[in-house]
Amino acid sequence: MNSFKDSCNAVSGPNSTAEDSSVSGGCSTQAADETHVNPRNALWPTYAPPMEIVFSHGRGSELFTTDGTVYLDFISGIAVTGFGHAHPRLVNALHDQSKHLWHLSNLFRVPEAERLAKRLVDNCFGDRVFFTNSGAESCEAGLKAIRGYHAFKGNAERYRIISMSGAFHGRTLGAISAAGNPSHTKGFIPFDYGFDQVPWGDLPALEAAISEETAGIVLEPVQGEGGVRPVSEAFMHGVRNLCDHHGILLMFDEVQCGMGRTGKMFAHQHYDVTPDVMALAKGIGGGFPLGACVATEAVASAMGIGTHGSTYGGNPLAAAVANTIMDLLLEEDCLSEVQRKGELLQKLLQGLVRKFPNQLKAVSGKGLMIGVECVIPNTDLLKLLRDHHLLVGKAGGNMLRFLPPLNVSDEHLQQACDIFESVLEANGEALAKATSAQIV
């Protein structure tokens, strides 16, 4: 035995039972005591969830705690559970597939993934798809494909990629380098990794940043973490024109704003502009981990055998669930209903902005991806809403982020805004005074 951990493993090995651990001596007793103090002690300290809330199950737009308290879920796992919790068709798809095949790797064909890829390209600009497990992986695949495309064409000197301030493309080294947020890169990125950042929405600055080394531009049609802000139509068309003029590629990160979230299958379809590469994740799996990188034939053909890979990407379970997501999204009136509900929610929230001008400033977004810019600290409001059983997110620009399920009911939209209103009526003036005092 070379360590304390080894001695514990000798008694409580992989086949030991709970009863074994309870009588195995000091090692397990100490570990149990530490776990009792804080059940999260064995996890990296990267997250800080509220300790008092533990959810046992969900149904539709509602989450239920272990003590039976009901919360209205308007964050949807950060735009992931697009059709709510425990949707019967998604549950059945996963259950049915689980009885046949869970995993093969991409050493063998996965027919469900092939079908999903065909359905994705049939509903967008793309020709080919690479499947991943997360948004960061999808973005990494797209960024790699941009550079691979130019290298394949004999222009390896074109490797730099331009992104926008306020962007978020994931937490991997490449993804945080692309976004360039100092709070994410500090301590991890010793150099720029070949990325340049320009101010969000600033077309002249973007044009000035393009050089002979530029390979592509990456942007979110609707920024999520950066403040729930859609780019303007003029900016979107301007970016496409710049890419065409300079022979560089355009990549859209639709990890959060894609898969019906804005009322179109993909957010860029609001602008009548098409990219060369697109990253997807979150809503594509409805809660089952899955991502995808969609590309044109010209880009995808540069990524031949061995240039990229994923052990789990497009596995049978994920593909079965995602095909059911596509079934739901392609149903008649699904996307038009998302637009209608988004307009209703924006209208209700704008009414609160008018009623509480000392607490709220503005509403922005598309479809059911909506931000409320706050005058008072968004973190204070988020906690108060959570205390009143409404779950929302936050974003840059002092925003609250509303991301309810795409199939949320009108009643739940009204209920959420009623809770918001009651919280502002009870606490808004006190919060506004405290904020003013801090500013002074």
- Residue 254 is assigned to a ligand binding site: yes
Single pTM value for the model:
0.89
**One domain, residues 342 and 321:** no
- Report the domain count for the chain: 3
**One domain, residues 93 and 217:** yes
Q: What is the pLDDT of residues 236-269, one digit of tens each?
A: 999 999 999 999 999 999 999 999 999 999 999 9
- Read off the CATH number of the domain in which 307 is found: 3.40.640.10
Domain boundary among the residues 301, 329, 357 is at: 329
Q: What are 310's two structure tokens? A: 């994923």
Q: Which of 90-94, 147-151, 178-182, 355-359 has the lowest mean pLDDT?
A: 178-182
The reply to whether 43 falls in a domain is: no
The reply to whether 10 falls in a domain is: yes
The reply to whether 47 falls in a domain is: no
**One domain, residues 140 and 222:** yes
Q: Which residue has the higher pLDDT, 26 or 410?
A: 410
**One domain, residues 252 and 384:** no
Domain boundary among the residues 287, 313, 329 is at: 329
- Residue 168 is assigned to a ligand binding site: yes
- Residue 256 is assigned to a ligand binding site: yes
Q: What is the pLDDT of residues 63-115, one digit of tens each?
A: 999 999 999 999 999 999 999 999 999 999 999 999 999 999 999 999 999 99
**One domain, residues 74 and 148:** no
Report the C-alpha gap between 109 and 117 in whole angstroms. 13
- Read off the CATH number of the domain in which 68 is found: 3.90.1150.10
Q: Which residue has the higher pLDDT, 31 or 66?
A: 66
Q: What are 108's two structure tokens? A: 């063998």
The reply to whether 49 falls in a domain is: no
Residue 152 clears pLDDT 90, i.e. is over it: yes
**One domain, residues 229 and 362:** no
**One domain, residues 72 and 98:** no
- Residue 171 is assigned to a ligand binding site: yes
Domain boundary among the residues 269, 302, 329 is at: 329
**One domain, residues 202 and 105:** yes
The reply to whether 314 falls in a domain is: yes
pLDDT at 89: 98
Q: Which residue has the higher pLDDT, 436 or 273?
A: 273
**One domain, residues 369 and 356:** yes
**One domain, residues 276 and 173:** yes
Report the C-alpha gap between 166 and 302 in whole angstroms. 30
**One domain, residues 356 and 264:** no
Q: Which of 37-51, 239-253, 328-342 has the lowest mean pLDDT?
A: 37-51
The reply to whether 141 falls in a domain is: yes
Q: What is the pLDDT of residues 183-239, one digit of tens each?
A: 888 888 777 889 999 999 999 999 999 999 999 999 999 999 999 999 999 999 999
Q: How many C-beta neighbours within 10 Å does residue 340 have?
A: 14
**One domain, residues 203 and 310:** yes
- Residue 136 is assigned to a ligand binding site: yes
- Residue 62 is assigned to a ligand binding site: no
The reply to whether 42 falls in a domain is: no
> What range defines the domain where residue 64 resides?
55-79+333-439
**Local confidence band at 439 (pLDDT 50, 70, 90 cut-offs):** low
Mean pLDDT on 403-414: 98
The reply to whether 405 falls in a domain is: yes
- Residue 253 is assigned to a ligand binding site: yes
- Residue 311 is assigned to a ligand binding site: yes
